[in-house]
Chain A
Amino acid sequence: GIQVEQSPPDLILQEGANSTLRCNFSDSVNNLQWFHQNPWGQLINLFYIPSGTKQNGRLSATTVATERYSLLYISSSQTTDSGVYFCAVRAGFQKLVFGTGTRLLVSP
């Protein structure tokens, strides 16, 4: 089945710093989602981005489907950005495959 790899596995930032999270996938996908799992365990939809670039406030994402990767950019990070960021790709009939996540800690 399709493989999803995220890097880096862990990231520590000071408040105000910028960061880039990467998601590589092993096969053609129809769709890709980025999630933030906050410290309370909730999974928050960030982007639905099968291709192209989207921006939402301090966050933006770019997917280059032909090269099988997606990037999540976080600018001017805040402590509330802490948590785990997951990339998930859709392969086949409505089945979402998750990466193992990037754990982000933003310190004040």
Chain B
Amino acid sequence: DAGITQSPRHKVTETGTPVTLRCHQTENHRYMYWYRQDPGHGLRLIHYSYGVKDTDKGEVSDGYSVSRSKTEDFLLTLESATSSQTSVYFCAISPGQFYSNQPQHFGDGTRLSIL
């Protein structure tokens, strides 16, 4: 399986606190993605990155920011967490050539609870 590590795997925090989730890859893939998974919605894209310092918004980006200072690391930050951001967060990677025939591979997820 693709070398993707998400940390932490579980986190419980309070409303209003900042939270940062980390995704680390060892595949040297260009593209990295953050998704959230909620009941009834499947997985929805939050943000993605197509290179170091190159990021763009997905369909549910409000309340989230991302950073990518190195190829291997993609950080997702909730500046002031809200209860609606309680979810399971998945990181994914792909080699990412334009319209290339390469699938996305997913990490094991981070379960985030905001009380």
Contact = CB atoms under 8 A, between A and B. Distances in A.
Given A50-B101, A94-B50, A42 B109 contact: yes
A33 interface: yes
Interface residues of A, number: 21
Interface in B87-115: 88, 90, 92, 94, 96, 98-99, 101-106, 108-109, 111
Interface string A74-99: 00000000000010100001111011
Interface residues of B, number: 28
Given A30-B99, A45-B103, A98 B108 contact: no
Contacts, number: 51
Interface in B28-51: 31, 33, 40-45, 48, 50
A31 to B, nearest CB: 7
Interface string A52-77: 00000000000000000000000000
Given A31-B101, A33-B104, A100 B31 contact: no
A45 B99 contact: no
Interface string B55-80: 00011000000000000000000000
9 nearest interchain CB pairs?
A98-B42, A48-B103, A43-B106, A98-B43, A100-B42, A33-B103, A41-B109, A42-B108, A30-B99
25 contacts: A30-B99, A31-B101, A33-B104, A35-B106, A41-B88, A41-B111, A42-B106, A42-B108, A45-B105, A48-B101, A48-B103, A50-B101, A86-B43, A93-B98, A94-B31, A94-B50, A94-B96, A95-B48, A96-B33, A96-B45, A98-B42, A98-B43, A99-B42, A100-B40, A101-B42
